[in-house]
Amino acid sequence: MGLFLLGLMACELRGLAQTIRIDVTPSHLVNTFSPPYALGTTVDRIPSNATDMFFAPDQVKQILEAGWGVVSYRQNTELFVQAWHWNPKGAWSDPLGKGYFRGDATPAELIRHSYGYSLQHRGFTRNGGTEFDGYSRLDDGDVNTYWKSNPYLTKAFTREDESRHPQWVVIDLGKMQEVNAVRIAWAEPYARSYEVQYWAGKGDAMDEPANGDWKRFVSGLITNAHGGTVTLPLQPSPENTKFVRLWMTESSDSCDTHGSSDRRNCVGYAIKEVYVGTVDQHGAFKDLLHHSPDQNQSLTYCSSVDPWHEPSDL
């Protein structure tokens, strides 16, 4: 491996005068790795009806004989904005059998299948590059649905100030457009302190964050907010931008639609619907977003998602 890396360096530095020194003093060792454990391959999303064949003794024998060494297995549910029941047997936080699921720590039997559950309060329009398995709750045109952030990133669980783990929502306008106002339909819990920002830079704010900066609108700092549906004029002259971000740092800690019996329902941030556009001198708001329950909605992204779900989300 060391010779291979040196070969790559030599190729990169071809034509340049360079000196490479190799220190083999044992006491100077910085780190180590084991190739059989650090290098490997993956097996991706096997349908449940294929597992019996895939894990048949003759198939496992061939895998082991290939010299792969240790093979670990996991669901890639995070790419699909899903909760993973690593052990199908466990307990729900709500006695009615829904909410936050905890798998049994000690499996009572062989686990042949583990499942992903779509999250109802998701916020993402797309799932890590895919275009299926649920839609955004931020501009789906339905104020009865809402995005909610992950409660485990709040002070109640981190024991750190909320500003240490700010939560955010990013709206992609699709192209450069004039923006000087937003309208937010807050759910519970709402943000008491937050900023409205625009992307000032080249390229894609999400994929190329080094090519620009987020700047706050002139009137984009909001404190002591009270939730509800608010229309916020952000500055007299519109900014020409493609991305707008809500940056949330203090929660109302009020309870969402699942009630006050579980503190996870009462921390973080939740938004029913978000709108971005302009206001004229008469205060009339013009929305630039496309709101629909399908993949034609304007693209939205969020910092985290509440893992609340129920059995029907399997």
Domain contains 201: yes
262/155 same-domain check? yes
163/50 same-domain check? no
179/308 same-domain check? yes
* pLDDT computed for residue 127 by the predictor: 61
Domain contains 22: yes
157/282 same-domain check? yes
Domain contains 309: yes
Domain contains 97: no
* pLDDT computed for residue 15 by the predictor: 55
Residue 188, domain CATH: 2.60.120.260
Helix (H), strand (E) at residue 37: helix 35-38
As a whole number of angstroms, the distance between CA 130 and CA 112 comes to: 26
* pLDDT computed for residue 65 by the predictor: 83
Q: Global pTM?
A: 0.80
276/168 same-domain check? yes
Q: Do residues 142 and 300 touch, judged by C-beta distance below 8 A?
A: no
Q: Do residues 258 and 210 touch, judged by C-beta distance below 8 A?
A: no
Domain contains 144: yes
**Three-class secondary structure of residue 297 per DSSP:** coil
223/296 same-domain check? yes
Domain contains 111: no
Would you report the helix, strand and coil content of the chain in percent, each value rounded to 5? Answer: 20, 30, 50
Give the range of the structural domain holding residue 22, as residue numbers without chain letter: 2-65
220/296 same-domain check? yes
Picking from 278, 250, 264, 244, the residue whose alpha carbon sits closest to that of residue 139 is 244
* pLDDT computed for residue 135 by the predictor: 72
178/264 same-domain check? yes
Domain contains 100: no
Domain contains 79: no
* pLDDT computed for residue 41 by the predictor: 63
- Which of 21, 50, 65 is a domain's end point? 65
Per-residue DSSP letter, 96: T
177/281 same-domain check? yes
61/192 same-domain check? no
**In a structure prediction context, what are the per-residue pLDDT tens digits for the chain, which is 314 residues long?**
444 444 444 455 555 678 888 898 999 998 888 877 777 666 666 777 787 887 789 988 887 787 766 666 666 787 788 898 989 999 999 999 999 999 999 888 888 778 889 899 999 887 654 444 567 789 999 999 999 999 999 999 999 998 899 999 999 999 999 999 999 999 999 999 999 999 998 889 999 999 999 999 999 999 999 999 999 999 999 999 999 999 999 999 999 999 999 999 999 999 999 999 999 988 899 999 999 988 889 999 999 999 999 999 98
| Total of domains in the chain | 2
In the chain, the largest separation of any two C-alpha atoms, in whole Å, equals: 75
299/156 same-domain check? yes
51/156 same-domain check? no
